[in-house]
């Protein structure tokens, strides 16, 4: 398959420049996706008040809990398509593309139903205060109407990433992001629709980005070309995607379970602390999504080289991506904290929330590069078809640990600082174990590929 101007040759030549070319558009794409929620929070906080800001912010953990299981499947789609491309098996790549789109439609519909059905019940379990629970429920129910659009976009973008194309998804999100901001201002400032307005603006933008990515796939003239009449499940491809994607989704959802518990603990401090936490969490999200783009690079570059049977490049991918994610985390995390007070004022005119937001920024943003290191090791493992092991490590090293922390250390000293330090400790713990797993799996893969080459020689 001849490489187009949108694709990257991941299996030959120097890596650093290619990792940056891959990661930077993806980084900007992730930031634009975050701007959807940032626009929601900023517009609501400034024009509808702190109660509405707390309502929107308190839904983040719940939304992630429900959608992350299905979003994880898109990681599986990206790995499978990338491995087929690396192996030059274009027929299987074609089947994987159509399976991924079919899976996105099913995942989107399932997420819509689950999200709407469980919204009020889940928010009640999270001890959402009475003064914001009705607004939070309304926001969540409208938000989940956009799930089919979100899933189609994410799976479609995963297919493009598998080719090395991260630029076109950036343009799609640029356009839909501008639409989102304009509709936010229209619905809230002109029509006074409060949280319903920002949720409606978000789902309209999600469907726009979904339509754009589908049109792009239809217009491709390579093995990833989408023929809408051929969208269906191919059993072998579904199995491969589930092998990688299901553990990834379960891991993300379980992370969200621990975050829901932490959100419940934050809710116990009242709506002012909730608002400050919501604004700070949104700010730190920009650092996370920038680091996550390097994780995506690790997954895709390793996947293509596994498909091309070039295990010697995996170590080089590891060094380059680990150095990159550390630099990104230190720079962006530090900048977020140093400019924290100014950034927090963008989200709310209520000065009372600033000190509470700064506590979170200090405790989480400054050491955030450790989270990025942890994520890159997970990406390296998933690219080598090892997804269950990092899931198990993360469940015990982060999720179970954080739950125990809330019920022990936090109960003994119920402060924001005690709550947030659990993140840093869990990142160090998980990154250390993932590193050992990486060394073991890479050694096994190298021996397997060497054996296969000898047999076919």
The pLDDT tens digits for 406-444 are 889 988 998 888 988 999 999 999 999 999 999 999 999
In the chain, the percentage of residues whose pLDDT exceeds 90 is 42
For 5, other C-beta atoms within 10 Å of its C-beta total 6
Q: How many CB atoms within 10 Å of residue 185?
A: 16
Rounded Cα distance, 47 and 157, in Å: 33
Q: Are 37 and 308 in contact (CB under 8 A)?
A: no
Rounded to an integer, the average pLDDT of 278-292 is 86
Task: Give the separation between CA 166 and CA 201, rounded to whole angstroms.
Answer: 25
Q: Is 172 left (phi over 0), alpha (psi -120 to 50) or beta?
A: alpha
Once rounded to an integer, what is the mean pLDDT over residues 7-17? 87
Buried b (16+ CB within 10 A) or exposed e, 124-153: eebebbeebbebbbbbbbbbbbbbbbbbbb
Confidence (pLDDT) at 113? 93
Q: Is residue 139 assigned to a domain?
A: yes
Is the pLDDT at 331 greater than 60? The verdict is yes
Is residue 6 included in any domain, yes or no?
A: no
Query: Is residue 132 situated within a structural domain?
Result: yes
- Find the range with the poorest average confidence among 15-19, 48-52, 284-288: 48-52
Segment 72-93, tens digit of pLDDT = 788 889 999 999 998 889 999 9
DSSP state of 230: G
The two three-digit tokens of residue 147, written as one number = 């799930």
- In 3-state terms the chain splits into helix, strand, coil percentages (rounded to 5) of 85, 0, 15
Cα 20 from Cα 142, distance rounded (Å): 37
> Looking at residue 37, what is its pLDDT?
63
- Dihedral sign computed on CA atoms, order 72, 38, 397, 379: positive
pLDDT at 219 over 60: yes
Answer yes or no: is pLDDT of 4 > 70.
Answer: no
How many structural domains compose the chain? Answer: 1
> 67 pLDDT exceeds 90?
no
9 found inside a domain? no
For the ranges 120-124, 153-157, 199-203, 348-352, which has the lowest average pLDDT?
Answer: 348-352
Q: Determine the distance from the C-alpha atom of residue 240 to the mean position of all C-alpha atoms in its chain, rounded to a whole number.
A: 21
pTM reported for the whole predicted model: 0.81
* 409 CB-near residues (< 8 Å, 6+ apart): 418, 422
Q: Is 354 helix (H, G, I), strand (E, B) or coil?
A: helix
Q: What is the domain extent for residue 52?
A: 16-449
Q: How many CB atoms lie under 10 A from the CB of residue 190? A: 9
What was the pLDDT predicted at 40? 67
**Looking at the domain assignment, is residue 456 inside a domain?**
no
Report percent pLDDT > 70 for the chain. 92
Quote the CA–CA distance of 69 and 82 in Å, as a whole number. 21
Average of per-residue pLDDT across 189-198: 85
Burial of residue 415 (number of CB atoms within 10 Å: 0-12, 13-18, 19+): exposed
More confident residue, 133 or 62: 133
pLDDT at 108: 92
Q: What is the mean pLDDT of the chain?
A: 87
The reported pLDDT for the residue numbered 457 is 56
Please say if the pLDDT value at position 96 is more than 90.
yes
Residue 114: pLDDT above 60? Answer: yes
Q: Model confidence at 39, in pLDDT bands (50, 70, 90)?
A: low
Check residue 142 and give its pLDDT. 92
Is residue 163 within 8 Å of 90, Cβ to Cβ? no
Please indicate, yes or no, if residue 71 is contained in any of the structural domains. Answer: yes
Rg (CA), the chain: 21
Does residue 347 surpass a pLDDT of 80? no
> How many other CB atoms are there within 10 angstroms of residue 189's CB atom?
14
Q: Report whether 198 contacts 187 (CB < 8 A).
A: yes
In this structure, are residues 259 and 63 in contact, taking their beta carbons and an 8 Å threshold? Answer: no
Structure tokens given for 266: 């934050």
DSSP reduced 3-state for 231: coil
Section 127-132 average pLDDT: 78
Asked whether residue 219 is domain-assigned, the answer is: yes
Q: What's residue 440's pLDDT? A: 94
Q: Please report the pLDDT score of residue 7 as a whole number.
A: 77
Asked whether residue 215 is assigned to any structural domain, the reply reads yes
Cβ-proximal residues to 404 (8 Å cutoff; 6+ apart), any chain:
none
| Confidence band of 38 (pLDDT split at 50, 70, 90) | low
pLDDT at 1: 47
Residue 428: phi and psi, rounded to 5, are -65, -45
Query: Quick one: pLDDT at residue 372?
Result: 95
In this predicted structure, what is the pLDDT of residue 35? 67
Tokens of 387: 């997804």
Task: Work out the average pLDDT over 229-241.
Answer: 93
Is pLDDT above 90 for 226? yes
Mean pLDDT of 46-61: 70
| Torsion, CA 415, CA 421, CA 422, CA 427, rounded to 10 | 170
Average pLDDT over residues 114-131: 82
């Amino acid at each position: 398959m001849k490489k187009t101007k949108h694709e990257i040759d991941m299996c030959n030549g120097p890596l650093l420049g290619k990792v940056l070319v891959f990661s930077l558009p993806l980084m900007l794409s992730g930031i634009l996706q975050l701007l959807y929620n940032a626009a929601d929070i900023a517009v609501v906080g400034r024009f509808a008040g702190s109660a509405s800001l707390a309502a929107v912010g308190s839904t983040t953990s719940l939304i992630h809990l429900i959608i992350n299981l299905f979003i994880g499947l898109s990681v599986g789609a990206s790995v499978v398509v990338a491995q087929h491309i690396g192996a030059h098996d274009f027929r299987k790549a074609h089947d994987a593309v159509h399976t991924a789109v079919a899976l996105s439609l099913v995942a989107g519909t399932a997420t819509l139903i689950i999200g709407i059905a469980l919204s009020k019940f889940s928010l009640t379990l999270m001890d959402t205060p009475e003064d914001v629970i009705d607004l939070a429920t309304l926001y969540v129910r409208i938000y989940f109407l956009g799930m089919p659009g979100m899933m189609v976009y994410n799976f479609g973008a995963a297919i493009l990433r598998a080719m090395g194309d991260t630029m076109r998804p950036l343009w799609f999100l640029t356009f839909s992001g501008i639409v989102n901001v304009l509709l936010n201002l229209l619905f809230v400032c002109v029509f006074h629709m409060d949280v319903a307005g920002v949720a409606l603006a978000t789902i309209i933008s999600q469907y726009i980005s979904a339509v754009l990515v589908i049109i792009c796939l239809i217009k491709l003239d390579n093995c990833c070309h989408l023929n809408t009449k051929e969208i269906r499940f191919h059993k072998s491809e579904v199995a491969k995607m589930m092998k990688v994607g299901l553990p990834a989704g379960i891991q993300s959802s379980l992370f969200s379970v621990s975050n829901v518990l932490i959100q419940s603990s934050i809710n116990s401090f009242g709506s002012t602390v909730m608002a400050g936490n919501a604004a700070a969490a949104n700010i730190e999200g920009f650092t996370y999504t920038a680091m996550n783009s390097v994780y995506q690079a690790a997954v895709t570059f390793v996947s293509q080289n596994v498909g091309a049977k070039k295990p010697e490049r995996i170590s080089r991918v590891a060094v380059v991506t680990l150095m990159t994610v550390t630099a990104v985390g230190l720079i962006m995390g530090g900048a977020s904290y140093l400019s924290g007070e100014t950034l927090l004022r963008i989200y709310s005119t209520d000065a009372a929330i600033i000190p509470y937001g700064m506590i979170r920024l200090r405790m989480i943003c400054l050491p955030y590069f450790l989270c990025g290191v942890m994520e890159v090791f997970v990406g390296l493992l998933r690219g080598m078809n090892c997804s269950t092991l990092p899931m198990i490590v993360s469940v015990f090293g982060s999720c179970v640990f954080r739950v125990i922390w809330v019920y022990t250390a936090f109960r003994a000293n119920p402060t924001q600082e005690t709550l947030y330090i659990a993140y840093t400790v869990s990142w160090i713990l998980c990154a250390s174990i993932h590193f050992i797993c990486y060394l073991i799996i890479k050694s096994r893969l190298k021996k397997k590929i060497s054996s296969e080459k000898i047999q076919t020689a």
